[in-house]
Amino acid sequence: MEPASDSNLSFPLRGTERASQLVLFPVQPQQEKTEETKEVIPPLWRGVSGREWNDWRWQLRHRITTLEQMKEIIELTPEETEGIKHSKGRLALAVTPYFASLMDPINPNCPIRRQAIPRIEEVHLSKNEMVDPLGEDKHSPVPGLVHRYPDRVLLLVTDQCAVYCRYCTRRRLVGSNERSITQGNFEEVLKYLKSHRKVRDVLLSGGDPLLLENERLEEMLSRLRVIPHIELLRIGTRAPVTLPQRITGGLVRMLKKYHPLMISIHFTHPKEITDQVKRACSELADGGMPLGSQTVLLKGVNDKPYIMKKLVQELLKIRVRPYYIYQCDLAMGTEHFRTSVATGIQIMEKLRGHTTGYAVPTYVVDAPGGGGKIPLQPDYVVSRGRGKIVLRNYEGKVFEYSEPNIIEFKKARSAGEEKAVPKKVRA
């Protein structure tokens, strides 16, 4: 995939010309087509009953974790075979049968394969990569808790995920011991939160919080909910995508007791939106949980505007509001997934104005080392002048907007009455 060059992003300033056309990105014919997915149960599990297949614990117990198992499902390339062999001691291989059923057994560029199967490129480390790219460990006053922003904290409640994404930012933590935050740690976390009254928002993440059993998750939510200054609870999860069977009536009934509770779901490609995923999101939305999506921009997976547009439009249809597109972090062994920032900006250029505003997420770079999210977008300001600003719209048409002129009121001395004396104040 060829990233857009930075030079594509510059454009000439045209002063105050109105409604003139700017061609920022040459229109290139694009393949306006993405694969539709149907879950096809691979022969390996053909004898499995529907009841088992739809049981999230069965899915977890039968995750594919070895080269031999993976070979029974897809035709592995030499790069994938070597990648799996070298994944031991790094980020583990684990794929649910459900997610594996979405893989194209022949095409190694299948977006589901690219996300879940290690490739040999993972062993190539770039000098810019970091073990802890977001500096979470240095912002962790208590094990399992990250406090980087003034009014909100991140709680790493488990290191388990249904599928380990090959580009994971927290690859230093996830999938290593398959263990959750300990009870002792959680007591410390609660103590910290009770004494930090500015914290009003707690995001439960990990790993994937929805891999905890309902009882354990409810214990955490209920104990957080009674802290008076905590207004909002959030869960960051990929389970509705990689393990949609996890979204059960029992889970939703439990979650809805702890409103306001928002759920951010990690989606990557339109191929992930299957009937099972639609059902899972519908149940969560019916339970009153606002749903948002988080998407990592990945080379060769979703770095084309037509793919991202299809994704955000499909998400709105299942009541998931596109929330963030993340520039891929500088995690170890992930350089082959990274695009240029210009590619991300070009994607935003093709979304804003070209589709429903609700479908347009914010594109961010999570600042390396822990500076937080920095939003990026195409530059819509053509020029700034005295009292006016020249802007261009999504079509490249240019418009002039006059800044406010402030009228000052002075008292007319002789008449003793107020008189308006216009005075232009330049912006």
Can you give the binding site for ligand SF4, defined by CB under 6 A?
Answer: 161, 164-165, 168, 170, 174, 206-208, 238, 266
Nearer to ligand SF4, 337 or 378 (CB): 337
Nearer to ligand SF4, 135 or 378 (CB): 135
Burial of 275 (0-12, 13-18, 19+ CB in 10 A): exposed
Set 63, 113, 119, 170: catalytic member: 170
Rg from Cα positions in the chain: 25
| Closest distance to ligand SF4 from the beta carbon of 238 (Å) | 4
Set 55, 71, 104, 148: catalytic member: 148
Set 168, 304, 310, 392: catalytic member: 168
Q: In what helix (H) or strand (E) does residue 362 lie, and over which residues does it extend?
A: strand 362-367
Nearer to ligand SF4, 95 or 255 (CB): 95
| Closest distance to ligand SF4 from the beta carbon of 254 (Å) | 21
Whole-angstrom distance, CA of residue 128 vs CA of residue 410: 61
Whole-angstrom distance, CA of residue 354 vs CA of residue 395: 9
| Closest distance to ligand SF4 from the beta carbon of 241 (Å) | 9
363 carries an active-site annotation: no
84: which 2 tokens?
A: 């799996």
Query: DSSP for 171-203?
Result: TTTTTSS--BPPHHHHHHHHHHHHH-TT--EEE
Q: Please, are residues 292 and 320 in contact by the beta-carbon 8 Å criterion?
A: yes
366 carries an active-site annotation: yes
Q: How far is CA 60 from the centre of its chain?
A: 23
Whole-angstrom distance, CA of residue 8 vs CA of residue 357: 24
| Closest distance to ligand SF4 from the beta carbon of 160 (Å) | 8
Set 161, 164, 166, 303: catalytic member: 161
- Amino acid identity for residue 178 in this structure: E
Set 14, 71, 104, 149: catalytic member: 149
Residue among 221, 197, 222, 191 at smallest CA distance from 209: 221
CB atoms under 10 Å from CB of 288, counted, come to 12
168 carries an active-site annotation: yes
170 carries an active-site annotation: yes
Set 132, 159, 303, 366: catalytic member: 366
| Closest distance to ligand SF4 from the beta carbon of 388 (Å) | 45
Nearer to ligand SF4, 4 or 211 (CB): 211
57 carries an active-site annotation: no
234 carries an active-site annotation: no
Helices 183-195 and 214-225, axial angle in degrees (round to 10): 20
| Closest distance to ligand SF4 from the beta carbon of 167 (Å) | 7
Q: Three-state DSSP class for 246?
A: helix
Whole-angstrom distance, CA of residue 409 vs CA of residue 260: 47
Nearer to ligand SF4, 76 or 296 (CB): 296
Cα 361 to Cα 4, 36, 48, 352, 387: the distances in Å are 20, 23, 39, 9, 31
Nearer to ligand SF4, 73 or 156 (CB): 156
152 carries an active-site annotation: yes
Q: Which residues are catalytic?
A: 148-149, 152, 161, 165, 168, 170, 329, 366, 373
